[in-house]
Structure 1
Amino acid sequence: MTTGWSLFVIFLVVLNIGGCAWLLWWTSKRRGDEARNAETTGHVWDGDLTEYNKPLPRWWIILFWLTIAYSVAYLAWYPGMGNFAGTSGWTSAKEHDADKAEADARLAEAFGRFDGMAIDEIAGHPEAVAFGARLFQNYCAQCHGSDARGARGFPNLTDGDWLWGDSPDQILTTILAGRQAAMPPLAAAIGGDIGVTEVTAYVQSLSGIKADPALAAAGQARYAGVCAACHGPEGKGNPILGAPNLTDDTWLYGSDFNSIAEGIRNGRNGMMPAHEPIIGETRSRLVGAYVWSISHGSNEAATEAP
């Protein structure tokens, strides 16, 4: 807050407190004879019910003075007068940090026994899998779905198809460090729209989808010259690059002609953020254990966890 705004806030606070104090002082003066002979407001009901304009009861005034004294003490103890920090040194940031430290200590006590443990080993502990399931719902379900079955452009984590490999270390690396998958636009490299059509037909034929034989045959040569560098000469993919297997029935963006052609023509960019800075290593291991459990058959505890 700038000095000008600070002075403005202080002025408003002092003005309000001073105004309240003056009003109470002026009101408390109207006692004695004036209280006994108080003027009326001119309002009379039922012929004999008259409304008087009398001073406030003394106990009310005392309570108001105590309220003003309390507000002055509060503003001296806590920050509330512009840039004045208060004599207590309290700040919302300090309170947040203290609460966070307390919560982190409780979490460390709960999760600490799983530090450094492999995720397939952690998956053998139902309590750990339950922890991981809750963390998954908080941090991963937005993309992969609450059932971890993914969506278009977001991998299904319950099957056996893995772009970057399904070993415990590979899954953990994916969660900790994130992944950046990029397929460049290839229309110009494979011969324009005709090349895109032919390569699309060939890619469909690799996975057993019915395609025009002549187009697929023409697309095979174009595929071998450009696409095989990442997906392999047989189209089985490369986990090191995150290049998908084109010979199975699992498709991240769809297996219809238009979806495949769109990917070849315009490229694809998939990014999973690194979660170690977000939830830390141990909690990342717990999430990995949950994912491991639902994708490798040991999902009894995982099913009950949410």
Structure 2
Amino acid sequence: MSSAWSIFVIILTVLMIVGCTWLLWSTSRPIKGEGETTGHVWDGDIREYNKPLPRWWLFLFYATIIYAIGYLAYYPGLGNFAGLSGWTSAKEHDAQRDEAEARLAPLFARFENMPIEQIARDPDGLRLGRSVFGNYCAMCHGSDARGAIGFPNLTDSDWLWGGTPDDILATVLDGREGLMPPLAAALGSDLAVSEVAVYAQSLSGRKVDPAMAAAGKRRYDTLCIACHGADGTGNQALGAPNLTDDIWVYGGSLDAIRKAINEGRHGQMPAHRDIIGPVRARLVAAWVWAQSQPEGTAATP
């Protein structure tokens, strides 16, 4: 919060407290015509009298004001003033996290150095891995790990960066960043972009215009071969997808492929090493790896 906003909040808060105090004090003073009726009558015999608030009620209001002043002095609430206690929500969060970590440490301890393949055959390990995945990965890859447009399906055998247990663990721990540059300017025309897109579709076995695909292949061999390979099977060292299996992260329609060629793609998986730690990363990597294995290879979670 800037100094200007901090001063504004402090002044506004103090004025509100002073205003409430003044209002209580002014209404507690003797009033003209006290004890007389106001002339308002309900249901024939219920009359409104002109009387101040009862003393005990006023004292309760004054007590709330005193409590508010004490609270604002002890806890942060007056702009940038940190409060006498030094309390912060970040410290509270860290304390609760540390308490939870200490409580759960024995549960995770036995998986610390266990090979991922072995965790994948351990029902308890898979249950924990699935829980971690649901908390940290499902928002992108879905609760069933089948992904969505822009987020890879983790249950098949198609991997951008490699599907071995060690590859998956490295992805979880350190993240991945895949970049396809926009190629519209290099190709020079919409027709050229369409030709390359049609050739990309042909690599996955789709029926396309042969002339368009042939023209697209010549352009592909000039610009795209460096990442996706001469045969279109991609390069896991670069995160370049395999174009021959008809599995498309961003969609395989002509328009979707044209959009990728024209504008490029920038996919980023954040690193989770500092978020979930190495043991939880190992557990979630085991669960993810198990989803892509033939049935019976891994234990049922």
Change (3 A) 1:51 1:301: same
Q: What is residue 155 of structure 2 aligned with on the other side?
A: 158
Aligned with 1:252 (options 238, 246, 249): 249
Change (3 A) 1:130 1:6: same
1:207 and 1:247 in contact (8 A); partners too? yes
Distance between the aligned counterparts of 2:180 and 2:251, measured in 1? 15
Which secondary structure state, in structure 2, belongs to the residue aligned with residue 153 of structure 1?
coil
Shift of 1:246: 1.9
Change (3 A) 1:262 1:79: closer
Q: What is residue 68 of structure 1 aligned with on the other side?
A: 62
Change (3 A) 1:243 1:55: closer
Alignment TM-score, normalising by the size of structure 1: 0.76
Deviations 1:30-53 (A, max 9, x none): 9xxx99xx5445567898876655
Which secondary structure state, in structure 2, belongs to the residue aligned with residue 203 of structure 1?
helix
Letter matched to residue 300 of structure 2: A
Q: What is residue 264 of structure 1 aligned with on the other side?
A: 261
Paired positions, count: 292
Letter matched to residue 301 of structure 1: T
Aligned with 1:20 (options 21, 24, 29): 24
Q: Which is worse superposed, 282-291 or 94-103?
A: 94-103
Change (3 A) 1:73 1:144: closer
Shift of 1:190: 4.6
Q: What is residue 301 of structure 1 aligned with on the other side?
A: 300
Deviations 1:75-100 (A, max 9, x none): 33634884776665555454344333
Q: What is residue 199 of structure 2 aligned with on the other side?
A: 202
Shift of 1:238: 0.9
Distance between the aligned counterparts of 1:125 and 1:166, measured in 2? 20
Q: What is residue 142 of structure 1 aligned with on the other side?
A: 139
Q: What is residue 209 of structure 2 aligned with on the other side?
A: 212
Change (3 A) 1:134 1:204: same
2:121 and 2:298 in contact (8 A); partners too? no
1:197 and 1:261 in contact (8 A); partners too? yes
Change (3 A) 1:72 1:93: farther
1:148 and 1:158 in contact (8 A); partners too? yes
Distance between the aligned counterparts of 2:214 and 2:76, measured in 1? 77
Question: Sequence identity of aligned pairs in percent?
Answer: 52
Shift of 1:255: 3.2
Change (3 A) 1:79 1:246: closer
Shift of 1:3: 5.0
Letter matched to residue 111 of structure 1: F
Q: For 1:46-125, what aligned pairs fall within 5 Å after superposition?
A: 61-62=55-56, 64-65=58-59, 68-69=62-63, 71-72=65-66, 75-76=69-70, 78-79=74-75, 82=78, 90-125=87-122
Q: What is residue 279 of structure 1 aligned with on the other side?
A: 276
Q: What is residue 133 of structure 1 aligned with on the other side?
A: 130
Structure 1 vs Structure 2 CA RMSD: 3.6
Which secondary structure state, in structure 1, belongs to the residue aligned with residue 266 of structure 2?
strand
Letter matched to residue 102 of structure 1: E
Q: Which is worse superposed, 182-191 or 225-234?
A: 182-191
Is residue 233 of structure 2 the alignment partner of residue 236 of structure 1? yes
1:75 and 1:81 in contact (8 A); partners too? no
Which secondary structure state, in structure 1, belongs to the residue aligned with residue 178 of structure 2?
strand
Which secondary structure state, in structure 2, belongs to the residue aligned with residue 128 of structure 1?
helix
Letter matched to residue 257 of structure 1: L
Q: What is residue 10 of structure 1 aligned with on the other side?
A: 14
Letter matched to residue 231 of structure 1: H
Which secondary structure state, in structure 1, belongs to the residue aligned with residue 230 of structure 2?
coil
Change (3 A) 1:54 1:187: closer
| Structure 1: tracts of 5 or more residues without a match | none
Alignment TM-score, normalising by the size of structure 2: 0.77
Distance between the aligned counterparts of 2:243 and 2:45, measured in 1? 97
Shift of 1:249: 2.7
Letter matched to residue 138 of structure 2: A
Distance between the aligned counterparts of 2:140 and 2:291, measured in 1? 17
Which secondary structure state, in structure 1, belongs to the residue aligned with residue 179 of structure 2?
strand
| Structure 2: tracts of 5 or more residues without a match | none
Distance between the aligned counterparts of 2:273 and 2:43, measured in 1? 78
Q: Which is worse superposed, 110-119 or 152-161?
A: 110-119
Shift of 1:203: 2.9
Distance between the aligned counterparts of 2:252 and 2:8, measured in 1? 63
Change (3 A) 1:76 1:268: closer
Letter matched to residue 235 of structure 2: N
Which secondary structure state, in structure 2, belongs to the residue aligned with residue 301 of structure 1?
coil
Distance between the aligned counterparts of 1:46 and 1:142, measured in 2? 61
